[in-house]
Structure 1
Amino acid sequence: MSDAEALDAYSRVVSTVAATVSPHVASVSLGRGGGSAVVFDSEHHKVHLLTNAHVVGEQRAGRATFTDGTEAGFRVVGTDPLSDLAVLAVEGGHGELPPSATLGNADELIVGQLVVAIGSPLGFSGSVTAGVVSALGRALPVTQGRAARVIEDVIQTDAALNPGNSGGALADSAGRVVGINTAVAGFGLGLAVPVNPTTRRIIDTLLVEGRVRRAYLGVVGVPGPLPDDVAERTGQPAGLRVVEVVSGGPAARAGLRRGDLVLTVGRKRVADAQGIQRQLFAEVIGTPLAVTVLRNGAMVDVFATPTELAG
């Protein structure tokens, strides 16, 4: 394939994705601020949009403008600052609104894969930029209440993002929305919250309850390899090395220690912080969770009872 043919093929993919996804992306205005949002649910005469929690802020209502010029008011159904996601609802009676975009699974992305960002940077609705997945598993610092935390497993891309892109779609070459653009980290660097089973669970909870209750263990860790003999015996190559145990927290009360290598939580394998966070939702608050760690070459089981994460 010649360079010209390759460029034509690339252009066709980007233009096809843009044509597929753009109608589902709106420019949103709330008070003095704004950003973008993506239609992800259009059942029962109601349209729901997904955007960033930081785009919404403390506002409870606003207006959405779609690429065809259609405008509609919306209310904020719920926000989750810890994942930087928010759900908006447009009631019926606003004319023809677009159907849902197709959601993909960011867990299937690979570094170097083509992605297309669509949003309303600087107020220019329906703007399209393209690039690749630059890295996966990044962490994005956020603030929840008075506490600083991080959003895990953020997608890094070199697709150009500017103010106003936040809340817009990051789509793969098949036109599936795999991320919600969330921040401009620096020149030539953008980040997006992944759309995957964990964030879908968050979205479903926001739809029903308007907020996400999370459990808290009080442990900070980094991925760490298991010794060869343990990896061979368990079939698990890595765990989570504990680097900090919060004094007085559930993990400390359970006897977890700095240097422990966590293998399982709730009898489910753990290899990174996301592996624990996937389990720390409302249903485990106050429920003892079995935690298996490797300590000084020996397997140790403890039971930690998560408390509710304060806002």
Structure 2
Amino acid sequence: MSTPYLRLVLLSSLIALSACQPKEQSDDAKSPAVQLTQERPVTIQGGASGVSSYAPTVKATAPAVVNIFTTEIVKHSTHPLMNDPMFRRFFEFHGMNREESEPRSGLGSGVIVSKDGYILTNNHVVGKANEIVVALQDGRKAKAKLIGTDPDSDLAVIKIDLKDLPTIPFKTSTNEVGDVVLAIGNPFGVGQTVTQGIISALGRNGLGINTFEDFIQTDAAINPGNSGGALVDVAGNLVGINTAIYSRSGGSMGIGFAIPSQLAQSVMMEIISHGQVIRGWLGVEIKQDNSGFNEDGSLNNKSSDGVAIGGVVRGGPASEGGMRPNDVILSINKQKMSSANQLMNTIAKIKPNTTIDVVVKRGNQEVDLSVTVGKRPKTEESQQDEGQE
């Protein structure tokens, strides 16, 4: 971030509650085919000065954007001095180390994407919830079942069992900077709200929000509570899932980020089919620059292409394939690598146990390697340091 006063804000919000229910967990990782609807063509027409109203778009999409209310049980110490290591030992010695459970509620948004009740939202909205309640625009409410989460992309899938559900189709065609978009969600819990803007940029990454980042940037106003809500085009197709904003105050300043619908759909189908997202993994630590080193140990500043490797996980796929620290990965399966984000996304899309051709620069030489891609460890089990692949 360019200024200490600018901070990244995830869009879910929390308030206190006094009741909770046991957590509902997914007991069925395998699911039938998801009933998705087809992308809508752009048919909205405007007057001489352009589109005069987005009411048709809102009528087609808003019913499929839901409010999500969650309850999480949070444990905390009974005495404030328990946070001090010295006093903690005293309390533990006298058997006074007690914890209390306190319910905490949160709110966010979600998007119904299938007739059979699958809803896309953010992991940070529902990932730790003990109870999830979904409220539809038509007044219906239902408890939701957590199908699965993907912390690396900050996406989650929940499911409700209701009939005659409205849906929003995924946009599969290309987005462009300047396209008009609408953000629909439940900011600050005031109720469903629609804001309008444009796509400001595509492919934003390196923000430190998620492990895998390929964000759509928009100036449509989104605020806390919009997390998991829909970003749609003027035809009523799902462009992205609203996730975060850059802000000094915590409110919208015209820089919001949404997870692209293509990525969201892919993650959702993996979660429904396998209960998790299965990604490829190399087991390398990526350096902050691409310079690399010469054979004599001197810094090589001439390398403008490739991704420099700072470390290799012992016994990992890269290590077994002959990759060394300070190698610079030039290409994978003849595709040139130019950034850490590109490398991570490329490897993640490769099925584990697949052998790939890797060209690295080692000193002044290019070396051809064959590496068998492994399965990326779960977030809780792996070291999720920034720049690790």
Equivalent residue, structure 2, for 1:66: 136
Residue ranges of structure 2 left out of the alignment (5+ in a row): 1-46, 72-104, 248-252, 291-303, 380-389
Larger Rg: 2
1:29 corresponds to 2:95: no
Q: What is the CA distance between 1:63 and its match in structure 2?
A: 1.3
Aligned residues: 275
Q: What is the CA distance between 1:260 and its match in structure 2?
A: 2.5
1:203 corresponds to 2:276: no
Equivalent residue, structure 2, for 1:177: 238
Q: Is the 1:213–1:282 contact (alpha carbons within 8 Å) kept by the matching residues of 2?
A: no
SS of 1:141's partner is coil
Percent identity of equivalent pairs = 33
Matches of 2:264 and 2:305, distance apart in 1: 21
**Residues 70-81 of structure 1 correspond to what in structure 2 (within 5 A)?**
70-81=140-151
1:159 corresponds to 2:220: yes
Change (3 A) 1:247 1:292: closer
Q: Is the 1:77–1:206 contact (alpha carbons within 8 Å) kept by the matching residues of 2?
A: yes
Residue identity opposite 1:277 in structure 2: N
Change (3 A) 1:124 1:276: same
User: 1:77-115 CA deviation, whole Å, 9 max, x = no partner?
Assistant: 000011111111112xx45432x2111037x11222211
SS of 1:109's partner is coil
Hey, which of these two has a bigger chunk of strand by percent?
Answer: 1
SS of 1:21's partner is helix
Q: What is the CA distance between 1:188 and its match in structure 2?
A: 1.9
Q: Structure 2 length normalisation: TM-score?
A: 0.63
User: 1:43-65 CA deviation, whole Å, 9 max, x = no partner?
Assistant: xxx31100001111212541111
Hey, which of these two has a bigger chunk of helix by percent?
Answer: 1
Q: What is the CA distance between 1:69 and its match in structure 2?
A: 1.4
**Residues 113-128 of structure 1 correspond to what in structure 2 (within 5 A)?**
113-128=179-194
Residue ranges of structure 1 left out of the alignment (5+ in a row): 143-148, 225-238
Cα RMSD of the aligned pairs, angstroms, is: 2.8
Matches of 1:22 and 1:188, distance apart in 2: 22
User: 1:25-59 CA deviation, whole Å, 9 max, x = no partner?
Assistant: 000111101200001111xxx31100001111212
Q: What is the CA distance between 1:297 and its match in structure 2?
A: 7.6
Q: What is the CA distance between 1:123 and its match in structure 2?
A: 1.4
Q: Is the 1:48–1:90 contact (alpha carbons within 8 Å) kept by the matching residues of 2?
A: yes
Equivalent residue, structure 2, for 1:255: 323
Equivalent residue, structure 1, for 2:165: 97
Q: Is the 2:70–2:132 contact (alpha carbons within 8 Å) kept by the matching residues of 1?
A: yes
Q: What is the CA distance between 1:256 and its match in structure 2?
A: 5.2
Change (3 A) 1:5 1:274: same
SS of 1:69's partner is coil
SS of 2:270's partner is helix
Matches of 2:228 and 2:61, distance apart in 1: 14
Equivalent residue, structure 1, for 2:369: 302
Q: What is the CA distance between 1:221 and its match in structure 2?
A: 7.2
